[in-house]
Amino acid sequence: MKGCGINNSITQEVWQCSQTGRKPGAFMKKTLCRAITCALLTVATAPAFAAEAPSRTECIAPAKPGGGFDLTCKLLQVSLQQTKQITSPMRVTYMPGGVGAVAYNAIVAQRPAEAGTVVAFSGGSLLNLSQGKFGRYNVNDVKWLGAVGTDYGILAVRSDSPWTSLKEVMTAIKNDPNKVVVGAGASIGSQDWMKTALIAKAADVDPRKMRYVAFEGGGETVTALLGNHIQMMSGDMSEMVPHLQGGKLRVLAVLADQRLPGDLANIPTAKEQGYDVSWPIIRGFYLGPKVTDAEYQWWESAFKTMMASDEFKKQRDMRGLFEFNMTGPELDAYVKKQVAMYREQAKAFGLAK
């Protein structure tokens, strides 16, 4: 207690007062008051006890294998182990339904305190939250943990498609909406639908007249496009990277403010083709609402260490994601701001109140 102003002579005087009944002097009372205040402040500002790493870790991908949620979980699975944040492999499980609605409800209602379980989310999850599609739960019902990258929306066709530009396919839809079947990994009102609706609106096409088919996740949509069951898909760039290398698909437009770097630089943006539409897609994770603060802090620290590493950056780049590192209260504020913005966009199409 020396740092708080209690030395041996003062301690001795306190003991003598307790034995004789003598009242302490003014100087001693002032010193003790200062020391007690210092001690209380020291306790109040001491760091909370940090939880240990969970003995078992799991990442829930809220869709079937092969889409963006799967990609996000696999990125975390590999990177946490490469950076030695965990010693045992992370389990990846799949819980499809409602672009995250089923997983969201399961975590909040049935598994709220599982310290080792994280759930992947995307901008599409936030869009559905903004429209009340997650049932009785809202954006405040989980603990938003970390964002590990951003993706961008795309519109793609088969490589042998007659349309080689966004303008060509939108002209075809405008002339005969039944001629082009558009598929995506979620229902009307989802982010994949919103991308096509915003493009259609910019092309003076009524989005309600488009032929739209909903699938469960990006993996199913790609399969349908390759099988020629649909003629165009709305998806995410990260989902396209493996297929672009195989030469079977052609991305007509990326919904970014400017062309993407590296091997993707040859893909034009929607903006440069005359459609003022941009759609970045955050990818990240949340925890259950009853995970303790100490357990949350372990995850936040692990994420920060992981995201600063070269191993993580390499894994992120391999998956076609772009840098967007955010954790803790900063991410919480960002997510809630995005949900409010998406709600206003959905209102414009009559999809939210």
Query: Are residues 227 and 136 part of one domain?
Result: no
**Cβ-contact 353, 184 below 8 angstroms:** no
- Section 299-306 average pLDDT: 97
Cα distance between residue 120 and residue 145, in whole Å: 10
Q: What confidence score (pLDDT) does residue 185 get?
A: 79
Q: Please determine, for residue 133, whether its predicted confidence score (pLDDT) is greater than 60.
A: yes
Total number of domains in the chain: 3
Q: What is the pTM of this model?
A: 0.72
Whether residue 319 is contained in a domain is answered as yes
Which domain does 189 fall in, by range?
A: 153-276
Query: Are residues 13 and 67 part of one domain?
Result: no
Cα distance between residue 162 and residue 352, in whole Å: 36
Whether residue 173 is contained in a domain is answered as yes
Cα distance between residue 170 and residue 36, in whole Å: 74
**Cβ-contact 163, 251 below 8 angstroms:** no
Tell me which residue of 209, 257, 206, 215 sits closest to 234, measured CA to CA. Answer: 215
- Section 26-46 average pLDDT: 47
Q: What confidence score (pLDDT) does residue 34 get?
A: 55
User: pLDDT-based confidence at 23, cuts 50/70/90?
Assistant: low
276, 296, 311: which is the final residue of a domain? 276
Q: What confidence score (pLDDT) does residue 18 get?
A: 47
Query: Are residues 289 and 143 part of one domain?
Result: yes
**Residue 180: CATH number of its domain:** 3.40.190.10
Q: What confidence score (pLDDT) does residue 25 get?
A: 57
Query: Are residues 144 and 120 part of one domain?
Result: yes
Query: Are residues 123 and 178 part of one domain?
Result: no
Average pLDDT, the chain: 86
Q: What confidence score (pLDDT) does residue 187 get?
A: 77
60, with CB counted inside 10 A (0-12, 13-18, 19+), is buried
User: pLDDT-based confidence at 107, cuts 50/70/90?
Assistant: very high
Q: What confidence score (pLDDT) does residue 294 get?
A: 97
Whether residue 252 is contained in a domain is answered as yes
Between residues 267 and 353, the one the model is more confident about: 267
User: pLDDT-based confidence at 67, cuts 50/70/90?
Assistant: confident
Query: Are residues 269 and 244 part of one domain?
Result: yes
Query: Are residues 263 and 197 part of one domain?
Result: yes
pLDDT digits (tens, 9 = 90+) for 109-127: 999 999 999 999 999 899 9
Q: How many CB atoms lie within 10 A of CB 179?
A: 11
Query: Are residues 94 and 130 part of one domain?
Result: yes
pLDDT digits (tens, 9 = 90+) for 216-232: 778 889 999 999 999 99
pLDDT digits (tens, 9 = 90+) for 72-103: 999 999 999 999 999 999 999 999 988 799 99
Q: Please determine, for residue 42, whether its predicted confidence score (pLDDT) is greater than 80.
A: no
Whether residue 55 is contained in a domain is answered as no
List, as one string, the DSSP characters of 161-205.
Answer: -S--SHHHHHHHHHH-GGG-EEEESS-TTSHHHHHHHHHHHHTT-
User: Given phi > 0 = left and psi -120 to 50 = alpha, else beta, which region is 145?
Assistant: alpha
Cα distance between residue 84 and residue 150, in whole Å: 24
Whether residue 51 is contained in a domain is answered as no
Query: Are residues 123 and 161 part of one domain?
Result: no
256, 276, 296: which is the final residue of a domain? 276
